Structure 1
Amino acid sequence: MILRVRFARPLHVVIAMLMLLGLNTYANERSLTLTQVGKNAYYAQGESALGSSLNKNFISNAGVVIGPDGVVVIDALGSPALGKQLIDEIRKLTDKPIQFVIATHYHADHIYGLQSLIDIGATVIAQESAKEYLGSDTAQLRLQTSRIELAPWINDDTRLVPASKWIVEDTRLMLSGLDVELIKMGPAHTSDDLAIYFPTEGVLFAGDLVFRGRIPYVGNADSLGWIKSLDKLLNRPATVIVPGHGPASTSAAEDLKFTRDYLVFVRKAMEQAARDLEPFDDAYLATDWSRYEKVPLFNAANRMNAYNIYLSIQNE
């Protein structure tokens, strides 16, 4: 017996509706909320996962600090829809204007929400090295790919947003009545890393210089520069560190060391083989990864991280 089902709408429309229903259901289960980490400081924590249509690319963190004159946002999350949700959450806390958004670096999961914030009048601040990425084929190809892989949350209306103010060196500013230190860190995780410290809050927003509760994403990072940057941050008197991924930390030194020690470990495992031009596969298989293999995203990221570090060592 063959069961035939008639739909009131074309099949492709029904499938799209079912997909969106699934996406919306998931979005309701994974809500974007702001957690307080200082007297006037908050953050939203993304999922420890790879970006997908199911999670709207909600895989990174964003920060919010409410000042006497307005609001400063750190990173804008991974889609315009998430940027709008972030605004809605801020509005539950204050009706002060959202005046500034600081990009810790120009990776897609941190900046695709920027357009939602500039549409309400926020000024974007970033490190000037991001200009090179914004003008590159890599940025355009990543956006084109995201329009497919992260649809419908990334679409033809999603655009790359440059900063209005570019930081060229360590800078101290008054933003929305807040004392803010912008610390130039790259090249490290990226060429344009910024760490943002609010002395009156004791909160450091470290971006993807720090990963907590998951294996870091290395990509095309300068692993040696990244390690040096983390050494620099270890001297900061922060009470709380908000990483680019994972929960906020009140054990700053310990959690900075997790990312730092992982990078040191992978470099040590790959260094001799890379310098002697020995096969990567042999070096990877010869390494005891048991120290990290139960950390979330190990299977998704570790081999790729090791290979990227292997290649970068050869170019040092």
Structure 2
Amino acid sequence: MASSHITRSLSALCLSAALGLTSAAAGADIAPIDIDMPLHKVSDHVYYVRGVPGIATDNKGFISNAAAIITDDGIAVVDALGSPSLAKRFIDELRKVSDAPIKTVLVTHYHADHIYGLQVFEDLGAKIIAPGGFQDYLDAPAAEERLEERRFSLDPWVNEDTRLVSPDVVITEQTEIGLGDVTLDIRYLGPAHSDGDLAVLVRPDNVLISGDIIFEGRVPFTGSADTGHWLAVLESLDDTGIEALIPGHGPAASEPAAAVSRTLDYLKYTREQMAAAVDEMIPFAEAYEAADWSRFQKLPAFDAAHRRNAYGIYLSLEQEMLGQ
């Protein structure tokens, strides 16, 4: 889709935001949340908030990152956090540095910790943009089941008023959007960490907002990911000229190549260990206990995520071997 078309659409659909809707109006019925959420400035235009390492319900659900690109012509947000309450809090932090309208939200992928805040931005009149593959998540029974579980485990911040939001625009190829004096280079990555992923390069700041294809300072969560394609994405990622990287989880990295290599190393090593076991028809539990995981054991979320990751990769490699 041409960038000029998207830019015109953004201007039209954000009219309600430009007419004076405020975050307070959008969040009038949203449960307040008492949580530490400082806004970090990364470059002239780019800010982000950083969740803590942990499982989905740790830190009142604030475990993932969200970013904002602030210009005189409006704000673009990348990812919406894990509850309407967190999204409202994020907007309150943004209002400390800008009163410009929030024109769009770019969703790097459809996982619960990145999308449950979308309704707050939708109610402000922002346009929601997401990668192809989002529908595989929303159409699956697991999406409603996960929401029901979070209405219990993250009550009152996720509750009966929390809804799943579909995007207004779907990206399936590299696309550029102009916003004020910046260009958002949206890179469609296909099914990697999720059923569909995208990353956003902000120019001229040269900040890459990667979503969950990069986990910094913690063990990644692989779930049912296509780790083979995920590896290929990381190996082909051109980080030339990138000055900072904001991952889906963890602190922003001033050395993007190192951040990419750490996630790549984790995926590659874990796949190699599990592939060897599958080739030799070694049962998972035996293979897991025999492998040397010491290089990752001190990372946050290792105990919570790593064994599950390895098992998911083992099963997927079994299916690959069987040609399924």
Fold in common (TM above 0.5): yes
User: Relative contact order: is structure 1 or structure 2 higher (C-alpha 8 Å, sep ≥ 6)?
Assistant: 2
Q: Does 1:48 align with 2:53?
A: yes
CA distance in 1, matches of 2:104, 2:79: 10
Report if aligned partners of 2:132, 2:190 keep a CA contact under 8 Å in 1. no
Q: What residue number does 1:4 align with?
A: none
Q: What residue number does 2:311 align with?
A: 307
Larger CA deviation: 124-133 vs 173-182: 173-182
Q: What residue number does 2:297 align with?
A: 293
Structure 1, unpaired ranges of 5+? 1-22
Report if aligned partners of 1:234, 1:256 keep a CA contact under 8 Å in 2. no
Give the secondary-structure state (helix, strand or coil) at the position aligned to 2:225: coil
Match of 1:103 among 93, 107, 128: 107
Report if aligned partners of 1:275, 1:313 keep a CA contact under 8 Å in 2. no
Q: What residue number does 1:220 align with?
A: 224
Q: What residue number does 2:214 align with?
A: 210
Larger CA deviation: 207-216 vs 167-176: 167-176
Report if aligned partners of 1:196, 1:205 keep a CA contact under 8 Å in 2. yes
CA distance in 1, matches of 2:84, 2:75: 19
Match of 2:78 among 52, 74, 77: 74
CA deviation string 1:94-153 (max 9, x = no partner): 111000110000110011011111111111000121012111111111111111121121
Q: What residue number does 2:182 align with?
A: 178
Give the secondary-structure state (helix, strand or coil) at the position aligned to 1:265: helix
Match of 1:35 among 37, 40, 45: 40
Report if aligned partners of 1:68, 1:178 keep a CA contact under 8 Å in 2. no
Q: What residue number does 1:243 align with?
A: 247
CA distance in 1, matches of 2:302, 2:295: 11
Q: Does 1:144 align with 2:148?
A: yes
When Rg is computed on C-alpha atoms for both structures, the one with the higher figure is 1
Give the drift of 1:56. Answer: 2.3
Letter in 1 for 2:45: N
CA distance in 2, matches of 1:151, 1:36: 31
Q: Does 1:165 align with 2:169?
A: yes
Q: What residue number does 1:195 align with?
A: 199
CA distance in 2, matches of 1:38, 1:129: 31
Q: What residue number does 1:116 align with?
A: 120
CA distance in 1, matches of 2:287, 2:127: 47
The number of aligned residues is 290
Larger CA deviation: 139-148 vs 177-186: 177-186
Give the drift of 1:243. Answer: 0.3
CA deviation string 1:270-295 (max 9, x = no partner): 10212343200111011011111111
Give the secondary-structure state (helix, strand or coil) at the position aligned to 2:177: strand
CA distance in 2, matches of 1:33, 1:267: 36
Letter in 1 for 2:54: A
Give the drift of 1:68. Answer: 2.9
CA distance in 1, matches of 2:59, 2:239: 35
Question: TM-score, normalised to structure 2's length?
Answer: 0.86
CA distance in 2, matches of 1:178, 1:115: 26
Question: TM-score, normalised to structure 1's length?
Answer: 0.88
Letter in 1 for 2:39: L
Report if aligned partners of 2:50, 2:250 keep a CA contact under 8 Å in 1. yes
Give the secondary-structure state (helix, strand or coil) at the position aligned to 1:228: helix
CA RMSD after TM alignment: 1.5
Report if aligned partners of 1:123, 1:164 keep a CA contact under 8 Å in 2. yes
Pair 238,160 (structure 1): closer, same or farther in 2 beyond 3 Å? same
* Runs of 4 or more consecutive aligned structure 1 residues displaced over 4 Å after TM superposition: none
Match of 2:158 among 154, 158, 161: 154
